[in-house]
Amino acid sequence: MKLLATAIWLACILPLTAEAANKTLTISVYAYAQDDYKRLVYDPFEARCGCKLVVETGNSVERLARMETNKAHPVVDMAVVSMADALRASRDGLLAKIDPVKLPNIEKLYDLAKDPNGDGMSVGYTFYATSIVYRPDKMKIESWADLLKPEYVGHIAFPNITTNQGPPALQMLGQAMGETAPDLKAPIAAIGQNKDDIVTFYEKSSQLVQLMQQEEIWAAPIGRFSWGAFTKLDVPVAWATPREGQTGGMNVMVLTKGSQNQDLAQEFMNFWISTDVQTALAQKLVDSPANKDVKVAPDIANNLTYGEATARSLKLIPSAAILDQRDGWVKEWNEAVGQ
């Protein structure tokens, strides 16, 4: 791995900016896979820029609250958050626009990652598909609506509305029903009508692996990042490609308004989305690459959200809908499903 890290910074090296030398860049990230990020992203960037990287970790709520508290005098230069959280931070006046000229690697990204919220305030670095894991020996999934077929519904798990997978799964169920209203009333009502048959409304995808191994469930909507655990089961499993398509989510990088290190922060963003760094992260199964030039072996690709066709198939819920509709979704769900 030392050779891989060395190759990354050699391949990505660019002339140092005058501002990069002797600077400290503070980033706010998820706590996930920090050892891998340090080896494959942070350390190579420090070696390249001659700067010091300070890494703050935590969940989105904690980190956004810290940004809000320090709005007048930012203590974080850039952050990685979900698309919806990026829009919320933008609405709260916490973000600065990203200069695409300073991110030449942005042209290597899939289109959906170049400006995810359409406001110039974020750039995607990884995304994931949400579809249905299922037992192909027990059932056939051609549509999201198949989950609610009478012969199947008593063998499925469905994500709770409060999980990241809940709203996307409901969105796709609604599309299968011919209902595309952002309030999700129709698919929530359909779930409510079948609530007594559905095995469980799960909070964490880790719950599902044992349920499927024990044959208590045959299918469940999940994010692709959970897929690997299912492939290790002793029962046959498949990833559905419903005719309505797949949904999913995306994590993005944002630039803090008022940061004194915006040029260095954008240099770091550009480094993170480079082909070499994105390839290294994909090979370690840390992130699915948003960079379309990344090439990995089929056995690795099978555990990622990978490739042009997959990227084009994703029907992501607009961030504005998530922010504006979330309270209504929860209210409708509580009334119809009672969770």
**Whether residue 332 sits in one domain with residue 209:** yes
Q: Do 257 and 146 belong to one domain?
A: no
Mean pLDDT, to the nearest integer, of 37-52? Answer: 96
> Does the structure show a pLDDT above 50 at 216?
yes
Name the token pair of 220: 């469940």
Judgement on whether residues 15 and 86 belong to the same structural domain of the protein: yes
Beta strand segments in the chain, E: 24-29, 52-57, 78-82, 95-96, 123-134, 157-159, 200-202, 219-223, 238-239, 247-256
One-letter identity of residue 166 = G
Cross-strand bridge partners of residue 254: 79
Q: In 254-297, where does DSSP find H-type helix? A: 262-272, 275-283
My answer on whether 187 and 202 are in the same domain is yes
Q: What is the CATH number of the domain that holds 105?
A: 3.40.190.10
Q: What average pLDDT is seen over the chain?
A: 92
Residue 109, domain extent: 2-127+249-308
Which among 54, 67, 229, 43 has a CA at the least distance from the CA of 133? Answer: 229
Torsions phi, psi for 110 (to 5 deg): -60, 150
Report pLDDT for 338: 85
Q: How confident is the model at residue 15 (pLDDT cuts 50, 70, 90)?
A: very low
Structure tokens belonging to residue 91: 């609405």
Residues 49 and 85 placed together within one structural domain of the fold: yes
Residue 163 has pLDDT above 90, yes or no: no
Q: Could you tell me if 133 and 205 lie in one domain?
A: yes
Residue 261 near residue 318 (C-beta atoms within 8 A): no
Q: Is there a contact between 213 and 231 (Cβ–Cβ < 8 Å)?
A: no
Mean pLDDT of 258-268: 96
pLDDT of residue 12: 52
What pLDDT does residue 205 have?
82
- Say if residue 30 is in the same domain as residue 143: no
Tell me, yes or no, whether 153 and 209 share the same domain: yes
Give pTM, 2 decimals: 0.83
206 lies in the same domain as 331: yes
- Tell me which of 49-58, 70-79, 221-230 is least confident: 221-230
Same domain, 18 and 160: no
Q: Are residues 326 and 187 in the same domain?
A: yes
Using one digit for the tens of pLDDT, what is the confidence trace for 131-148? 999 999 999 999 999 999
Same domain, 163 and 275: no
User: How crowded is residue 94: how many other Cβ atoms within 10 Å of its Cβ?
Assistant: 23
Number of domains the chain contains: 2
Give the phi and the psi of residue 100 in degrees, each rounded to 5: -60, -25
Contact 23, 51 (CB under 8 A): yes
pLDDT beyond 70 at 182? yes
